[in-house]
Structure 1
Amino acid sequence: MCIAQLGWRQGCILSKNMVIQLQNNDEIIKDVSESEKEIIKGANESDLLIVVTHDCDLVHDSFENEPEIEVVLARSVTTENASRFWGKNPRKFQFELQPEQLLYEICVHDRVFIPRKLLLNDSPNSERQLEASLIKQVCLWISKRYFRAAFPDSFNNRITDKFKKKIAEKFKKKGKEITAIYIAGADEEVQGNDMYKIIIKATMQCETFENPVLLREAQSIIDLLEIEFCQCPGIDVAQSLLVSEADVSIDDLRFLKRWDYDHLSFRGDTPDEIAPYP
């Protein structure tokens, strides 16, 4: 039976038997790096190893051309951090697995490559499955390691530590329903007293945008974001908007840049806390 017939697709979760094999049989993972072995052996029974390799590569007919697959470790956690949902944090990704609403967190560094032939030994985990939309979120989030917006130094340097602390705390507690923050007007380096006049556009999922309570809570964050940006020297907010994802057009994305949590990190710190890609 081939890999496709066994049911393997991008987003499938390794079965418990396969994880045990990987952890206890060093011969199977002899070509895996030591750091990747630690990730595999560190997975416990409640964690998930998720296949993120594209379908076409996953079921390719040549093991010589496609010898490995990439899997990412999702750890079971108990503490929700709203700023880590929807890929808003470039290094940590939290999600809930439905219908049990189990909470998991992925670290972007917890990715390993294992022999693709191993998929011939078993079927995917039948007890745990990721929805298609979640699989896409995870893969797009991983791609942010290579493709994400960069803002000018002169803009980043105007954002005060007071701003970062206040906004980071607010997003951590209340920012779960905000799926993205985009900024326009901060594209070039400026000198001296020249001002940045920016537009902020934040998004929510269509269904949550229709919920008055969730909308009000998200709007309070965007209102605070506008106020705090205006307190930063050399930055003025011309407009701030909170909209449904349905109201963001392809034309909008030509001039909007996605603003992630990296831009809230303190100098010298490693960000561990901020939207879906078009």
Structure 2
Amino acid sequence: MDGMAGIWTRDTAWRQGHVLTTEAIQALGLSHPETPDSTCVVVISHDCDLANDALQIEPDVEVIVGRHLPKGDGNYFWAKAPRRLHVDVLQNGTAVVVELVATAKRIVPKHALAAFFPDATYSFPGKSLSALRSWLGVRYNRAAFPDPFVDRLSQSKVDKRLAKIIEPVGNLLSAVYFDVDSGKEIDHSDGSPYDLKIVLAYPPGDDPEQTADDVEKVETAIADLFEEKHFDQTISKWNGVALKACMSISEDDLRVSRARLLTQWRLEYMTLKADEEQHGAFT
């Protein structure tokens, strides 16, 4: 029963993606600091670590103190931003948006959490749980692009414009991949443009044709943006960055071997410096 002392065992009911009850949140002091009434605390420890009852080895459970939002931001769905995640969760069968921030991780001793059961009114759909797991790994496993390449996108403000293009339909896109110079290290100190190919990956959803049409509009908008900012019409040459292709592809058609050759463009490159905080939608 919630609130009563318990013993942590391998048969614990807790799993990654489970949500704490209001009673557990209050008892453990895990309310959201800004909006306590909208608090949603999510367990992020791996299932194997949760099942480990050798408390001298795995004494704690890692959680994130998140919160409910009235509406999600497309730029934060599908683990596109490493510091902030918006994810669809079911509460009493109704879809709600939960926001998780990487710096809001907390440690809860297993012996303390053993006194409570997960909130049975919540559940993470399979795709949402997969997005959560991907996001947890992204912070420690993300590629860096050449600084001059990032600077050129920043100077032309393509980075922020790209974020604004993606935001309205960001929930449709599972990933934005960049192929810069076909993965080769090329010296562009002479001012020559970086060759860039962009791949927009998306889950087909319940209506694959409509989803494909919606993503194709994003594809066209991105191509137009790069042509506006990086293509000199007077001399018919690319300046800074040459967009060689922008294409969309369903996850069902994106081969693993091909995905391995691409580098995911995370939203931190578009909007943030390392010492800046993320506050809601981009401006």
Question: Which band: TM-score by shorter chain?
Answer: 0.7 to 0.9
Is 1:101 the equivalent of 2:99? Answer: no
CA contact (8 A) 2:88 2:96 kept: yes
Amino acid at match of 1:170: I
Query: Secondary structure in 2 aligned to 1:123?
Result: coil
Q: What percent identity do the matched residue pairs reach?
A: 22
Please report how far the alpha carbon of residue 226 of structure 1 lies from its aligned counterpart in structure 2 after TM superposition. 2.2
Deviations 1:5-61, CA, capped at 9 Å, x for gaps: 3411111111222112112xxxxxxxxxxxxx6x66666344211111111111212
Amino acid at match of 1:17: E
Deviations 1:199-258, CA, capped at 9 Å, x for gaps: 21111102257132x332221222222232343322112222101011111211232100
Specify the alignment match of 2:178 in structure 1.
183
Is 1:122 the equivalent of 2:119? Answer: no
CA contact (8 A) 1:261 1:271 kept: no
Pair 1:119–1:22, CA change in 2 (3 A): closer
Specify the alignment match of 2:262 in structure 1.
256
Query: Secondary structure in 2 aligned to 1:207?
Result: coil
Is 1:234 the equivalent of 2:228? Answer: no
For 1:1-278, list aligned pairs within 5 A: 2-23=8-29, 44-98=36-90, 99-159=93-153, 160-186=155-181, 187=183, 188=185, 189-207=187-205, 210-212=208-210, 214-230=211-227, 231-232=229-230, 233-265=239-271, 270=276, 272=278
CA contact (8 A) 2:178 2:197 kept: yes
Amino acid at match of 2:125: E
Amino acid at match of 1:171: I
Please report how far the alpha carbon of residue 185 of structure 1 lies from its aligned counterpart in structure 2 after TM superposition. 2.7
Q: Which runs of 5+ in 2 are unaligned?
A: 1-6, 231-238
Query: Secondary structure in 1 aligned to 2:212?
Result: helix
Pair 1:86–1:267, CA change in 2 (3 A): closer
Whole-angstrom CA distance in 1 between matches of 2:162 and 2:101: 22
Q: Which runs of 5+ in 1 are unaligned?
A: 24-36
Aligned length: 259
Further displaced range: 62-71 or 79-88: 79-88
Q: Considering only aligned residues, what root-mean-square deviation do their CA atoms show, in Å?
A: 2.5
Please report how far the alpha carbon of residue 261 of structure 1 lies from its aligned counterpart in structure 2 after TM superposition. 1.0
